[in-house]
Chains A and B, each alone.
Chain A
Amino acid sequence: MQKTHLELTQVGISFPTEKGPFVALQNVNLHIKKGEFVSLIGHSGCGKSTVLNIVAGLHQATAGGVILNHKEVTEPGPERAVVFQNHSLLPWLTVYQNVELAVKQQSDGKKTKAEIRDWVEHNLELVHMSHALDKRPNEISGGMKQRVGIARALAMQPEVLLMDEPFGALDALTRAHLQDSLMEIQAQLNTTVMMITHDVDEAVLLSDRIVMMTNGPAATIGEILTVDLPRPRHRLQLADDPSYNHYRHQVLSFLYEKQRKVEDLGSKRAEKQQSKTQASA
């Protein structure tokens, strides 16, 4: 965890829209060390997914750039795996085949059949999904699908794991379970992780640093909070830990005092009301 590994410098992006270019991000600067766990938090629509997609190589920054291992990121690459928000498993492949596809693609013909099989099974074991190898995605629960999505990403042996609200759609129990698994796996593999979340507890529990983003348009990084809690972390012990609560409070105050969206909603509602009365007049 020393030298800079992933570097975002003055990253900005504008999307062409019908009403002219829409500047979604501006001046995003972030240096991430190897093995670091960074979360991105911010109100919805501020541009978190866009940041992640730029790092993944799915979007091209229109200003600035991303450097990984001294090389500029211009397209998706094998060293960056993505866990998508809604699992994005191929519905016509089984759990096993979904992971196998990634492994085959990664090994590029260098692994033997047996090695591929072992590696797929090993990664599904990591996320505790060995019991459902031959099930289709629509035969397993949402939490299981997300596990398989994580296994697929891990099986690529990435240096950077990019996760877009990986646990957003799950119930609290399943989420807690997967968070623990993720911490375990990350400690084991020392993967660099960039995770988007809108859950403050999740951010504090998992992260080394929490990147808090301002509201869009032209969103950028508002504050960065370093979470200096010893690892391994246990959610039960942390619940009464004053420093844990202090971090939580800081994130909450950023989101709900400095970057209030409530006001925004209120004014929008007022606007709507106005246009409605105008329409009826």
Chain B
Amino acid sequence: MNILKHPALSQWQNQFSSTLFWRKQLKQSLLTLSGLLVFVLCWQLASSQIQTSLGQFPGPAQAAAQWSQLVDEYQAEKQREGAFYLRQQERHAAALAEDPTAELTSLPYRARPTFFSQILTSLQTVLTGFVLASLIAIPLGILIGLSSNLYQVFNPLIQLFKPISPLAWLPLVTLIVSSVDLSSAWGSRSFVVSVCTVMLCSLWPTLLNTAVGVSQVPQDLLNVSKVLRLSWWRHLRIIVLPSAVPMIFTGLRLSLGIAWMVLIAAEMLAQNPGLGKFVWDEFQNGSSDSLSRICVAVLVIGLLGFALDRLMLMLQRKVNWDKTAVSR
């Protein structure tokens, strides 16, 4: 009997490879942790050296304290909201007890924006802008990629618009939006301005990558399509789109990254009640807590951007046929 095929041995090998796996995991998390530790140490050391007009620059400890304060504020606000509705219910019950036909007026609670509601607003705004941009960029990119003439028409325009900063768009967008009468279905004006700015800035990577992906379908596959005499629509659906999917996703990930960066700037200036406004308000506020609150916001902005990118990556892994093409 071949000793290498002995069941006990193969079991041992399995165990060995699984410990190898855990070791790798352990090593990776240790490395990640040490990176974080270095960052926190540097932050601590640097912050003790920096004096600002608002006092000492906050270190990690102050930021952590501020974080729990923000959580407390959020919970307090939640409690106030609960209490408000409870009181309203009691009022209604009392009114009905007095007169069963009484007309009841329910008032919605006007919540003060907390840090967490601002995060939610930011996410809503960025996703709206990003989705709108993608809905425009992908179909347009496909059309441009299919025709080399269209590509030559649009390419200079794309190159022209791509590098424009959100800060340059914002005044124009604001003026246009305020000249248009908006129905309430669109939400507040500042929301529309932020969404439009995000859209205008995050359009281009998806547009360009889609066009390039579509125009780079291998000649072999185009020949297959011709030999099979696929109709225009099937050619697009069966050959062109799957072949361009990796490039489209590369564009989408770049776009989402840009959208998130642009959003913060847009919210600061458009006063959209999101993270950007939070940072701006704290900056204007200039209280002793402001700096550490801004530090918390900056970290949260980073974390959310990272999370959005991971989400995109997961989606890409799911949709992409070429599992090896998905990078980190």
Contacts and interface: CB of A to CB of B under 8 A. Distances in A.
A275 B159 CA distance: 40
B282 to A, nearest CB: 49
A90 B322 contact: no
A78 B229 contact: yes
Nearest to A92: B321
Interface in A47-103: 56-58, 75-78, 80-82, 84, 86, 88, 90-92, 101-102
Contact of A91 (B223, B226, B229, B322): B322
A105 B228 contact: yes
Interface in A91-125: 91-92, 101-102, 105
B229 A76 contact: yes
Interface residues of A, number: 20
B239 A90 contact: yes
A92 B242 contact: yes
Most chain A Cβ neighbours within 10 Å, of B224, B245, B321: B224
A102 B228 contact: yes
Contacts of B228: 101-102, 105
A90 B224 contact: yes
Interface in B207-232: 220-221, 223-224, 226-230
Contacts of B238: 90, 101
A81 B226 CA distance: 11
B227 A90 contact: no
Contacts of B226: 57-58, 75-76
A82 B227 contact: yes
B229 A88 contact: no
A249 to B, nearest CB: 35
A80 B229 CA distance: 11
Interface string B225-261: 0111110000000110011010000000000000000
Nearest to B239: A90
A129 to B, nearest CB: 18
Q: Is the interface of B mostly helix, strand, loop or mixed?
A: helix
A58 B242 contact: no
A94 B243 CA distance: 15
Contacts of A82: 223, 227
Contacts of B239: 90
Given A58-B223, A84-B220, A84-B223, A90 B242 contact: yes
A81 B227 contact: yes
A80 B226 CA distance: 11
A228 to B, nearest CB: 33
Most chain B Cβ neighbours within 10 Å, of A56, A57, A76: A76
A80 B228 CA distance: 10
B191 to A, nearest CB: 39
B195 to A, nearest CB: 34
A106 to B, nearest CB: 8
Nearest to A78: B229
Interface in A131-177: 136
Given A78-B229, A90-B238, A105-B230, A84 B321 contact: no
Contacts of A58: 223, 226-227
A76 B222 CA distance: 12
Contacts of B243: 92
Contacts of B224: 84, 88, 90
B229 A90 contact: no
Nearest to A82: B227
Contacts of A57: 226
A105 B321 CA distance: 23
B321 A91 contact: yes
Interface of A: 56-58, 75-78, 80-82, 84, 86, 88, 90-92, 101-102, 105, 136
16 contacts: A75-B226, A76-B226, A76-B229, A77-B229, A84-B223, A88-B220, A88-B221, A88-B224, A90-B224, A90-B239, A91-B321, A91-B322, A92-B242, A92-B243, A102-B228, A105-B229
Given A77-B229, A92-B321, 11 more contacts: A57-B226, A58-B227, A76-B226, A84-B223, A84-B224, A86-B220, A88-B224, A90-B221, A101-B228, A102-B228, A105-B228
